[in-house]
Structure 1
């Protein structure tokens, strides 16, 4: 179980996105989506919902959860959400296609 830094609701890790802080070239921090789950350091968890993202940014939740100083650059996470990559639960992470089967009853 993980807690979304935006809405503060608990959820299984497969239903949340992991974000992590990485150093940019200027010595500042940038927040990025860790879709592979292998970036080093602390991670923060976020629902794939723009409302949770905006609340997390407004409350400076990434700074507290990732234990970083200053104002991190969140443009990579915002871009991830605006491109539509975060819509819906992550679900199938294998890359294989899922098919819905319809069963009709008479």
Structure 2
């Protein structure tokens, strides 16, 4: 949901809607599964990036989000012995990377 909201309905300079892509990649790396979700949205400002997994943190306008989605994901992934992190470039998009061990 966050990726869809971030990608929005950008218009090209000619007024035409510009299609955006959400890419999902998986890989088996060192006895872990890595899942990457990469969007072509606006990106996350550096000052916000460190807080995106905090409960109730949101940059969405009131009524559009609770700020719980990523914090719940973070907790579940940690309980599985995994890790979640984000990489973002303003104007280019954000990638959420999840690593979950295959064996515990």
Fold similarity call, TM over 0.5: no
Q: Which has the larger radius of gyration?
A: 1
Per the normalisation by structure 1, the TM-score is 0.31
More helix by share: 1
Bigger proportion of residues as strand: 2
TM-score normalised by structure 2 residue count? 0.31
